[in-house]
Amino acid sequence: MPASTLEDLLASPVRLAGYRLAAEVIPGVGPRSFLHSGPPLRPGERLPGALRGALTAGLLFEGEAATAEEAAGIVEAGGVALTPCQQRRTAGPLTGVVTPRTAVLVAEREGGERFYAPVHEGDHGGMRTGMFDPPTVERLRLLADVVAPTLDEALRLSPPIDITAMQASGLHRGDECHNRNIASTSALLMALAPAIAKVGGDRAARTFAYFADTPQHFISLSVAAAKATADAVHACGPAGIVTGVGMNGREFGIRVSGLDGWFTAPSPTGPMVSLDGGDITRAAPGEGDSPMIESIGLGAFALSGALGLAHALGRTAAEASALVAEMRRVTAAESPVFRLPCEDFRGTPAAIDVRKVVAEGVEPATTLGFMHREPGRGRVGVGIMRMPMAAFELAAAALDAAEGAADA
């Protein structure tokens, strides 16, 4: 067993270290060289619709194209180089597109390792959902030119912010820190508000207005912290633990400690409920890195702590508790930091074990938003989906083969 136990790795705090532009901190992000969510895209396949829309928005935002038609032409001609977010210590919700001027937050583990996630654009569309209309581009500019610099300056004027502690607190106030983040976003704003006020002027006012419109802001902190913890488990934890989860709109994939590469299966297509009247019959297969949040014991693995969300997703309190109990069958640990008030503060199930998934025949769950198949149409639904068993079966077989070769 490594010197750091799995529980030690799950308990290690992650702090908020800054808000920057992607090209300043993420290697390999540059002109027409962007990031996307999920496992690597297969060469030669047409890109999913939402991803095409997001790339169109990115090219407009970066000034690489003057019109949406010109940008879409660049995308269709293969004029944008794409790299998975997770290969760059980054986690991208939904399309996960990161361009050079994308505002990103910086999360830091003990020891100084840094991880990144794009700053949430607001709860009404956005590049992350495949939108590329003028309001989407203007919000990207607002984040890059006003919100991120203001928050970065405010952080330097504030006491250190422990993301992990805020997640734990949010779980006690109705968040599961994936698709419900209202309490955690409010806590973050309360911590930063005095320093934002010191920054002052129009910048402060516009930043406060952004928070008023973006109760999901904290998901960016949550997914970056999940990436930081998962990478630590991959490097130092026991073999067979899921250390990366993502979808690229075509394939679902996992990374597993003790093994190299991705193990993939077709990306899930539901189930879901309609979001703001969206046509769920036109929903595309799942996309995004945010299910990494489940791997550390939050999201669907803590749904009984977020009954407001459970109700919105069509689940009763009893069904939410039953789902969490089911996830305990496929995990290697209980979280030392995330605890459920409804279970006398028992730790949430954490660290998905691929062998247990296969042996129990239980597919891990995640909450997830689903996007329209066509570019520019945004999200249409949200639901609790199951991660495909086929990916876990491939990983478990590879783990057996690797261990057999080592014993030979």
Domain CATH for 76: 3.90.1710.10
The domain boundary residue, chosen from 199, 220, 241: 220
d(CA 364, CA 300): 9
Please list the rounded mean pLDDT of every run of 10 residues in the chain (408 residues): 77 97 97 98 95 98 98 98 98 98 97 96 91 97 98 97 98 97 98 97 97 97 98 97 98 98 96 91 96 98 97 96 98 98 97 98 96 95 96 98 85
**Do 251 and 342 fall within a single domain?**
yes
The domain boundary residue, chosen from 220, 251, 271: 220
DSSP state of 147: I
The domain boundary residue, chosen from 220, 250, 271: 220
**Do 40 and 172 fall within a single domain?**
yes
**Do 247 and 209 fall within a single domain?**
no
Rg of the chain over Cα atoms, rounded to whole angstroms, equals 20
Beta carbons of 220 and 289 less than 8 angstroms apart: no
DSSP string for residues in 39-93: SPPPTTSPPPHHHHHHHHHHHHHTTS-SSHHHHHHHHHTT-SEEEEGGGGTB--S
- Whose tokens are 């995308």? That residue is 75
Residue 1: its pLDDT value, please? Answer: 37
Axis-axis angle for helices 163-171, 218-236 (nearest 10) = 110
227 occurs within a structural domain? no
Residue 330: its pLDDT value, please? Answer: 98
**Torsion angle of C-alpha atoms 191, 197, 199, 202, degrees rounded to 10:** 130
What is the amino acid identity at position 353?
A: D
Residue 404: its pLDDT value, please? Answer: 85
d(CA 317, CA 310): 7
Residue 119: its pLDDT value, please? Answer: 98
Residue 35 buriedness (CB in 10 A; 0-12 / 13-18 / 19+):
buried
Residue 2: its pLDDT value, please? Answer: 42
**Do 155 and 252 fall within a single domain?**
no
**Do 114 and 72 fall within a single domain?**
yes
What is the amino acid identity at position 97?
A: V
Beta carbons of 204 and 153 less than 8 angstroms apart: no
Domain extent at residue 341: 233-407
Sheet with 365-371, edge to edge strand ranges: 273-274, 379-386, 365-371
Beta carbons of 251 and 39 less than 8 angstroms apart: yes
**Do 213 and 299 fall within a single domain?**
no
228 occurs within a structural domain? no
Residue 125: its pLDDT value, please? Answer: 86
Beta carbons of 287 and 396 less than 8 angstroms apart: no
**Do 156 and 269 fall within a single domain?**
no
DSSP state of 145: I
**299 conformational bin, left if phi > 0, alpha if psi -120 to 50, beta if neither:** left
Task: Give kind and range of the element (H or E) at residue 150.
Answer: helix 148-156
Q: What ranges in 87-142 are assigned the alpha helix state H?
A: 134-142
**Do 141 and 246 fall within a single domain?**
no
Beta partners for 274? 381
**Do 210 and 317 fall within a single domain?**
no
Counted domains in the chain? 2
Q: Whats the size of the chain, residue-wise?
A: 408
**Do 80 and 132 fall within a single domain?**
yes
DSSP state of 127: G
d(CA 73, CA 213): 33
Q: Report the candidate in 295, 315, 299 with the shortest Cα–Cα distance to residue 307.
A: 315
1 occurs within a structural domain? no
Tokens matching residue 7: 């529980």
- Whose tokens are 């089911």? That residue is 326
Specify the CATH number for the domain of residue 296: 3.90.1700.10
Q: Terminal CA-to-CA distance of the chain, rounded, Å? A: 20
292 occurs within a structural domain? yes
**Do 38 and 135 fall within a single domain?**
yes
**Do 142 and 240 fall within a single domain?**
no
